[in-house]
Amino acid sequence: MTVTNTAAAAGVAADASTFATVGTIAAALAVVGLVDAAFAGFRACTGRDARIDKRALHRQAARRGLAVGTLWLTAVALVALAALAADLTTHTGELVAAGTRMLQVLTPYAAVVALSLIAYWVLPMRESTFVILVGLGPMTLARPLVVLSAVTWAVAGSGDWLVWTVALTSGLGVLAVEPVVHHRWYRPA
């Protein structure tokens, strides 16, 4: 193998590694965003119905939140992909760095929420109520600040317009799901 072929092979390996990293970070952010959208749909409908058995209502609300979140995040992804198709080398490194910084903020928050939900489902009634009071309740109140912190940390030090566009619009979309679902399906008549 010649030096030129070795360099070309190393470049292809580096590109494949970069795409794997981009895909992993994008997938992780999409999962966090879409799970949050489903919970936002659930929160939008809580307290709006007098039925005793609300399981079907809550599932429908979660699906509605997921649908709204999917539409928004798909639009953000299409803008990012269009910009990356035009100029792949300029934006990829910045997007990977921004996505990594965003996950640094969102992952601990998501882990605490997930552990609180597991504890809520597994523990007896009294303890699960306590978990809501000390875990899920405050985490729901902190959610907008966590999203704002994640967006701020993602764009910190980046001058790339695409990083700013993707971070700001995705953060706005995550925070808009609950009011959109509430206004569209659950506002009082």
Contact 40, 137 (CB under 8 A): no
CA dist 96 and 26 (Å) reads 9
pLDDT at 103 (0 to 100):
96
pLDDT single digits (tens) 68-83: 999 999 999 998 888 8
- pLDDT confidence of residue 9: 39
Tell me which DSSP letter residue 132 carries: I
Structure tokens at 29: 């952010």
Say what the pTM is.
0.83
What is residue 107's predicted lDDT score, i.e. its pLDDT?
Answer: 96
Residue 106 confidence (pLDDT) above 50: yes
Instruction: State how far the Cα of 33 lies from the Cα of 24, in Å rounded to an integer.
Output: 14
pLDDT of 13 reads 44
Query: In this structure, what DSSP letter does residue 87 have?
Result: -
> Alpha carbon 164 to chain centroid distance?
16
pLDDT of residue 70: 96
Residue 16 has pLDDT above 70, yes or no: no
Q: What residues does each domain of the chain span?
A: 3-186
The total number of residues shown for the chain amounts to 189
pLDDT top residue among 35 and 22: 35
Residue 68 has which token pair? 């709204």
pLDDT value at residue 24:
92
Question: What is residue 124's three-state secondary structure?
Answer: coil
CA torsion through residues 55, 172, 31, 153, sign: negative
Alpha-carbon 142 to chain mean position = 15
Report the chain's mean pLDDT, rounded to a whole number: 86
